Structure 1
Amino acid sequence: MSKSIKNYWLLSGAFFTFFLCWSFSFSLFPIWLNQYIGLSGELTGTIFSCNAIAGLFVMPCYGYLQDKLGLRKHLLLFIGVMLIAVGPFFIFVYSPLLLSHFYLGALLGGVFFAVVFGAGIGALESYVEKVARSQYFEFGRARMWGSLGWASATFFAGYLFNKGPDINFWLASLSACVFMLLIFLLEPLNEENSISTVPCSSQRKLDLKLVSGLLLMRKFWAFVIFVMGVTCIYSVYDQQFAVYYSSMFSDQQKGNAMYGYLNSMQVFLEAGCMFFAPFLVNKIGAKNGLILSGFIMALRIIGSGLADDIVMLSIMKLLHAVELPIMLVAVFKYITNTFDTRLSATLYIVGFQFSSQITASGLSIYAGIMYDKLGFSTSYLILGGIVFIFTLISFILLSSDKPSI
């Protein structure tokens, strides 16, 4: 087996186990906060805001560090160690603190989750994208296994939650052990042997001056506007959707289980779409891929506000399976087509994830207040309208690119 094929399967497995860990921990996180800890919508929004704010401090560090490390895996090994601690943290630290000292627990949890998941996923995705470019395989094909991992865990998470939430947390740590082993076995190419898409005339060592130069680029801020007005709303919308969905069932435990099954179905469909997304984005171009995903997102959120039964609400949820693969593939292709590829991790983690987090950190609390006072339906109509407007603005501001085929 060639090194490229071996690395593809190891990184695909890393995605699978990372998302297993993440899903066991967070797919029912809002339900856990609402039903197990007993938090209101506003306090749940505070939790998500703390998670987002903490990510603001960690993400830029991860982005710059990963670009400096290149194809070296030191940062991923550190993330693997932290992932293994997820189960004990939830059970012995986070849960007791939320019940006895809420704000201390929210703050500590925000920092821990930012290090492990919030910034960790960006580091993993940007690392795999670098290896994919150097070893000639599509990032989307490896990322597909992450969706399968999330779906596999979510399928059982609702049932296991009803048996006891701690089961999911222990399974998260077990998944993390496998992740750590896969990263340890990884054999990436040496940096000097990798394929670079940066013209030789522009080659120079990555430094803070080169990174800070992004702040003077109109193209960078156009990309940030898209992220802050479109992608961050999707994360805010999803934060308490599980609470809304399960509340539509007369039996709370049935609602929890059904949401787990629906989420699992959505992510299995997402994995299939992730396989085909590179074909579509290569055909229509990265900018058009971003715009298309934005309009699908607006339709999904507004449709959730208009849905008046479980079937329609479920269909709106499943649209996420189409939207996310297109957006994720388009984001990386837009970055590599528009900016210096040596900054790909910085651009993805700071330009995409950090910008999303900085907006979500403020919006999460207000969204929680809206859910409590206006209800979920009205709140979704407002959020969906914001996404629609910013997608139209981004159509004008984002740089055009030629399709790959």
Structure 2
Amino acid sequence: MTDAISKRNYWLLSGCILSFFLTWSFCFSIYPIWLNQSIGLGGTETGLVFSINALTALFVMPCYGFLQDKLGMRKNLLLFIGVMLLLSGPFFIYIYTPLLKHSLYLGAVIGGFYCSTAFFAGVGAVETYIERVGRTTGFEFGKARMWGSVGWAIATFFTGQIFNVSPSLNFVLASLCALIFLSCLYFVKVSENTTKESAINQQANALKLSDAIALFRQRKFWAFATWVIGVSCIYGVYDQQFAVYFAAQFPTQAEGNSMYGYLNSFQVLLEAGGMFIAPFIVNKIGAKNGLLLSGAIMALRIIGSGYAGDPISISAMKLLHAAELPIMLVAIFKYIAAIFDARLSATIYIVGFQFMGQVAASGLSVLLGMLYDKIGFADAYKIIGLVVLFFVLVSAVVLSSDRRADPLGLSPQYK
């Protein structure tokens, strides 16, 4: 594989994930604030929307995972996702908003299916495609994924202020950013050698549904799922309504919204830098230890949030996300490449990581929403953090050790 192809794909796919996260951030970086202040939902109702989002994603994720593995290097699924991103503005403004206001359950279900197709399952398909092309052409996934964090940071810097002017403007900008995604994806070419690309796709075509189902009979798959559900999923549910708690620390909601946007942007810029150095860290300590390290940081952030009683300290806790996320994402892909059949990387990532997380989140979102309403955010955070810490310790015992040295995470199939 030539350096020219590697560099070309790196920059084009970096543009894809940059624009994907721009679109996602314009729609979702202040999603809980939008639900609370624009739609008028309380903590329990917001938790219900998140739960329905999680449940509907369950129908899409397994399909996306296996379909992306079957497609190999073909871009069909990503092109479909790009079209869905393009429709995000009209959907949020003209369909989602009125439905949530007049029929909460119907709006939540329809919105859940759309958001799952475009974002919740879509991000896994985009990330696994980039990781697969990176293994094939020779660039680190983390360095390309860094641009996703940059995209999220750029958008979140403005979303709070834009929301104070008009929430609809964020959704219009989301659709415009989707045009960049489609443009960059169109020019991606995996190899100048069509014979080699065809061979890779033939390997993907050889996969059967039984190969994916067989994963559920493997102990190592369920060990990985233990970490996902007990650590990553609970952390994700904790983060869902964090923006509401943060905004409440300020004299006015408008000031809280703006400050949350600034903080989110700063955090994600730090996260982007973390994405650049995370491959070095994970290569040094190993993928399993990378998962455990990220889990320990998650527990620290959640417990610390429970004891933080002012905007400065709660902001410091939030910034820990910039250290945790890069290590976690890089470690997950390297763990999958080292422990499982890399031809099934999309299935394992989307089903084993995202799907399993959504299964747990579908119930936990409502429960934690009720817990927030009953005992308050601070006390709830202390309980959640201790649960995450417990599962980090369990994961240290049950996760498989990745012994194969492979700095780029290259699979035997594509070497």
Q: TM-score, normalised by structure 2?
A: 0.94
Residue 110 (1) aligns with residue 112 (2): yes
- Name 2:413's counterpart in structure 1: none
Shift of 1:187: 1.1
Shift of 1:212: 1.1
1:392 & 1:372 partners in 2: Cα distance?
Answer: 29
1:107 & 1:128 partners in 2: Cα distance?
Answer: 30
2:199 & 2:313 partners in 1: Cα distance?
Answer: 47
Contact 1:76 1:123 in 2 (8 A): yes
Aligned with 2:135 (options 133, 136, 155)? 133
Contact 1:84 1:177 in 2 (8 A): yes
- Name 1:211's counterpart in structure 2: 212
1:185 & 1:132 partners in 2: Cα distance?
Answer: 16
- Name 1:396's counterpart in structure 2: 397
Percent identical among aligned pairs is 60
Amino acid at match of 1:193: K
- Name 1:354's counterpart in structure 2: 355
In structure 2, the CA distance between the partners of 1:122 and 1:317, relative to structure 1 (3 Å rule), is: same
In structure 2, the CA distance between the partners of 1:138 and 1:248, relative to structure 1 (3 Å rule), is: same
Contact 1:133 1:195 in 2 (8 A): no
- Name 1:289's counterpart in structure 2: 290
- Name 1:84's counterpart in structure 2: 86
1:343 & 1:192 partners in 2: Cα distance?
Answer: 22
Shift of 1:184: 1.2
Residue 231 (1) aligns with residue 224 (2): no
The range that moved more, 230-239 or 292-301, is 230-239
1:32 & 1:126 partners in 2: Cα distance?
Answer: 30
Amino acid at match of 1:320: H
Give structure 1 stretches of 5+ with no counterpart.
Answer: none
Contact 2:72 2:204 in 1 (8 A): no
- Name 2:246's counterpart in structure 1: 245
Give structure 2 stretches of 5+ with no counterpart.
Answer: 408-415
Amino acid at match of 1:116: A
The range that moved more, 392-401 or 204-213, is 204-213
Shift of 1:188: 1.7
Shift of 1:192: 5.6
- Name 2:371's counterpart in structure 1: 370
1:260 & 1:234 partners in 2: Cα distance?
Answer: 20
- Name 1:35's counterpart in structure 2: 37
Aligned 1:7-26 pairs, distance under 5 A: 7-26=9-28
> Residue deviations 1:153-186, cap 9 Å, x none?
0001111110110110000000011111111111
Describe the SS at the equivalent of 1:2: helix
Aligned with 2:70 (options 62, 68, 71)? 68
Residue 318 (1) aligns with residue 307 (2): no
The range that moved more, 334-343 or 207-216, is 207-216
Q: TM-score, normalised by structure 1?
A: 0.97
- Name 2:257's counterpart in structure 1: 256
> Residue deviations 1:338-359, cap 9 Å, x none?
0001000000000000000000
In structure 2, the CA distance between the partners of 1:119 and 1:191, relative to structure 1 (3 Å rule), is: farther
- Name 2:100's counterpart in structure 1: 98
In structure 2, the CA distance between the partners of 1:212 and 1:245, relative to structure 1 (3 Å rule), is: same
Shift of 1:195: 12
In structure 2, the CA distance between the partners of 1:309 and 1:196, relative to structure 1 (3 Å rule), is: farther
2:216 & 2:372 partners in 1: Cα distance?
Answer: 35
- Name 1:193's counterpart in structure 2: 196
In structure 2, the CA distance between the partners of 1:379 and 1:196, relative to structure 1 (3 Å rule), is: farther
- Name 1:146's counterpart in structure 2: 148
Describe the SS at the equivalent of 1:186: coil
1:191 & 1:123 partners in 2: Cα distance?
Answer: 23
RMSD over aligned Cα, in angstroms? 1.7
In structure 2, the CA distance between the partners of 1:76 and 1:158, relative to structure 1 (3 Å rule), is: same
In structure 2, the CA distance between the partners of 1:309 and 1:191, relative to structure 1 (3 Å rule), is: farther
Shift of 1:372: 0.7
1:74 & 1:221 partners in 2: Cα distance?
Answer: 30
> Residue deviations 1:36-91, cap 9 Å, x none?
11101000000000110011110000000000000000000000000001011010
Shift of 1:116: 0.4
1:141 & 1:150 partners in 2: Cα distance?
Answer: 15
The range that moved more, 242-251 or 204-213, is 204-213
